[in-house]
Each structure stands twice: as structure tokens, then as C-alpha cells.
């Protein structure tokens, strides 16, 4: 009988509980033993490691739709790769992780994380030697290479869309524009997808150069005097500091455009998991369990062209735009961004949305 550990790391998102529950269900049908590791790597840094045993009542299926992680993703004082590096304890931290994994006598560990967590797992793969490491991609940012979908993204787009739908009503009532700042870090997928969904008048993302004066002219020539301007948190304007939405708002005000700013912030990371994310969670859970059964290791589940399969972590890391992590010395993270040939860019232009200087 195989013994499987599940761990969620990095930022939370909707869909984590769904994939945890589906992994547990599929594993028990195979006759495997499943435990959950609490608070990510911090749970492996105590003696004994902080784990829970799963049964049918631990995470009832009716609760699996809920946002957040039943296993938690850490806390402000949690010991992880970043805090260990900051305090000069990285070597001891790595040794402790390895020691705890040995004590747990796991055959495999399923790590559900974002691009930072998966990059860390690959770059520190010796920690997981002797057991199977299977990664499942989750993030609202959709910045993970080699997969068309990540758990949590669809729900985040829905949450942002619902937020903007309500703003559009008050915008219409007061002949007003709203500048909405989205999450997404350096990737504009969340803003781009939600912007298409709501019919935004302008979408500003980090990957596409834009001209503020051109955007203002576009807004002034719009067929209505209200609407939404979506601004991804990762954009930058030379010579300006502060929140991007506030900067754009001031520019609009200076040109005579009545506007307000709005910050949905962490509401984008919550909400009942959409059906699409639940289905994706089930597919990734099944794919991860099949990988364990097939004795695969150092792999990530991925969906490409509607096919769900595993890709090697080496390929995942090499496929992205590798950049230095600002918080962990010598660490590099593999990132994915909005491609210049993403069809949504053309769709935005064809629908009369200002998307930047794409042509």
C-alpha cells in the first residue's frame, strides 16, 4: 500500500479543496493511505511534522467547493524557503525538510503550488529523492509554463467579472468611469480575460506597451460616458510611483474624465469554485494519481489542447522565462506571460477595447 502526502503552498485560490478531496477519494479507491501536511513547508519544520489523517469526514465533498486550503498555505511567521533564506537558515531548512519526509515514510508527495513553488521544488529536488514528487499547478495568475490551465484561474476570472458587473451599474448611474486594479503580478492573463468578459473599455497589462494619451483619446471617443478600465497590478509607468490604478486615475482626472478607483484585491482569490475549476481539479487529481501508479517522479500535471498529461519539471522550468527571484538568493523562477499572438488581444481590438500599442 502506497502512502501519499498532499501539500498546498504559496498563495491560496479557489479549487485547492476540490483537488485535495479528489486526490483523497481516488487514492483510497486504489487502496492507498493519504495524509495532509499542514501549512506547507512549515508543517515539515516541526518535530513531529504537522500532518492530518484523511477520512470521508475530514473534508466532506459538499465542502470541497469552498475557497482557501483546508491544509492551509502558511502564515506570517511560517518557515519556508524565503524566510529561511532571509534568516540565514536555508541549509538547516533543507535538511529539516528531508528529515521530516524520511520520518513520514512517504512513497509520494503531491505538491499543489504556483510557479514559484514548482520552480523551488525542481531547483531543490534532492530534498525529494527517494520518493515520487508530483506537482499540480494552481494560481489565479496563469503564469505557469507548459499548461493551458491552472486551478483557480477560472474562478478568479469569474470573481473579477462579477465585481466589475456591479461597478458597471453604478458607473452608468453616475456617468462615471472606474479604474479597477487586478491581481496577476507580472502576468496580464487575469485582467485580459476578465476585461473581455465584461466588455471593458481599456485593458492595461504588463506585456503590452501602452500610451496613456492614446488610451484617454480612446475613452473620450467611446460610445458611452461610463465604463471599466482594467489595470493589471504589474504595469509600470516611467517616472511614477504608487498603485497603478491610482496613477491612471490621476491621469484621467487631469484630462477631465470623471472616475473612481476600485480594488477587488483578495476577493479575486476566493469564491465558490466554478464548475470549470472543479472539473480541472478532478482531471489533475486523476492525472497525478496515475503518475504515481506509473512510478513517475519530478513531473507536473498539465492540460494542453484539451489533453491532460504530465510534463517533466525539467521541461517546465526550461520552457518559461527564467528570472531571478527577488526574495531568495540564487533562486530562479520559471514564468509564463501573455503571448504577443494571444488571440484574445486581437479579439479585444476587434471589440473596440483599448489594449495598448499592439500593431
Determine which one of 12, 42, 141, 143 is catalytic: 141
Q: 344 phi and psi, to 5 degrees?
A: -65, -25
Question: What DSSP line would sit under 39-86, residue for residue?
Answer: TGGGGGSSSS--EEE--TTTS-GGGTTSSS-TT----TT---HHHHHH
Task: Find cell 482626472 and name the residue.
Answer: 253
CA separation for the pair 201, 219 (Å, rounded): 7
Rounded Cα–Cα distance for residues 302 and 207 (Å): 23
CA pair distance 52, 49, nearest whole angstrom: 10
What own/partner pairs with CB < 8 Å and gap ≥ 24 does 26-32 have? 26/285, 26/286, 26/289, 27/2, 27/289, 28/54, 30/2, 30/289, 30/293, 31/1, 32/1, 32/2, 32/3, 32/4
Helix (H, G, I), strand (E, B) or coil at 299: strand
Judge whether 204 and 232 are in contact, CB under 8 Å.
Answer: yes
What span, in angstroms and rounded, lies between the C-alpha atoms of 94 and 100? Answer: 10
Provide φ and ψ at 229, rounded to 5°: -115, 115
How many distinct helices (H) and strands (E) make up the chain? 11, 13
Provide the angle, in degrees to the nearest 10, between the axes of the packed helices 189-198 and 153-173: 50
Q: Is the CB of residue 230 less than 8 Å from the CB of residue 183?
A: no
3-state secondary structure 300-325: EEEEECCEEEEEEHHHHHHHCEEEEC
Q: Is 148 a catalytic residue?
A: no
CB atoms inside a 10 Å sphere around CB 199: 14
Determine the 3-state secondary structure of 287 from DSSP. helix
Which are the catalytic amino acids?
141
Amino acid at each position: 500500500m502506497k502512502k501519499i502526502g498532499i501539500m498546498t503552498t504559496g498563495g491560496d485560490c479557489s479549487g485547492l479543496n476540490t483537488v485535495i478531496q479528489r486526490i483523497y477519494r481516488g487514492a483510497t479507491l486504489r487502496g492507498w493511505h493519504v495524509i495532509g501536511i499542514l501549512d506547507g513547508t512549515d508543517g515539515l519544520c516541526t518535530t513531529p511534522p504537522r500532518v492530518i489523517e484523511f477520512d470521508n469526514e475530514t473534508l466532506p465533498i459538499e465542502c470541497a467547493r469552498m475557497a482557501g486550503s483546508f491544509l492551509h498555505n502558511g502564515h506570517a511567521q511560517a518557515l519556508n524557503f524565503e524566510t529561511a533564506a532571509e534568516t540565514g537558515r536555508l541549509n538547516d531548512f533543507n535538511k529539516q525538510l528531508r528529515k521530516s519526509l524520511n520520518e513520514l515514510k512517504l512513497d509520494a508527495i503531491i505538491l499543489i503550488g504556483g510557479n514559484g513553488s514548482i520552480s523551488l521544488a525542481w531547483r531543490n529536488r534532492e530534498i525529494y529523492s527517494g520518493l515520487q514528487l508530483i506537482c499540480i499547478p494552481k494560481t489565479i495568475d496563469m503564469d505557469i509554463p507548459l499548461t493551458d490551465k491552472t486551478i483557480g484561474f477560472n474562478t478568479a476570472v469569474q470573481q473579477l467579472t462579477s465585481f466589475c458587473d456591479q461597478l458597471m451599474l453604478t458607473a452608468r448611474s453616475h456617468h462615471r468611469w472606474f479604474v479597477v486594479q487586478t491581481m496577476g503580478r507580472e502576468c496580464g492573463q487575469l485582467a485580459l480575460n476578465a476585461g473581455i468578459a465584461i466588455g471593458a473599455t481599456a485593458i492595461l497589462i504588463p506585456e503590452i506597451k501602452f500610451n496613456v494619451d492614446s488610451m484617454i483619446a480612446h475613452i473620450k471617443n467611446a460610445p458611452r460616458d461610463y465604463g471599466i478600465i482594467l489595470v493589471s497590478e504589474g504595469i509600470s509607468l516611467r517616472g511614477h510611483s504608487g498603485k497603478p490604478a491610482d496613477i491612471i486615475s490621476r491621469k484621467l482626472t487631469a484630462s477631465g474624465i470623471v472616475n473612481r478607483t476600485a480594488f477587488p484585491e483578495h476577493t479575486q482569490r476566493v469564491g465558490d469554485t466554478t464548475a470549470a475549476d472543479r472539473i480541472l481539479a478532478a482531471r489533475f487529481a486523476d492525472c497525478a494519481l496515475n503518475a504515481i501508479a506509473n512510478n513517475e517522479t519530478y513531473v507536473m500535471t498539465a492540460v494542453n489542447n484539451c489533453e491532460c498529461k504530465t510534463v517533466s519539471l525539467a521541461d517546465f522550468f526550461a520552457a518559461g522565462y527564467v528570472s531571478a527571484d527577488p526574495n531568495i538568493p540564487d533562486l530562479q523562477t520559471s514564468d509564463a506571460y501573455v503571448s504577443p499572438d494571444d488571440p484574445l488581444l486581437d479579439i479585444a481590438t476587434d471589440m473596440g477595447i483599448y489594449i495598448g500599442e499592439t500593431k
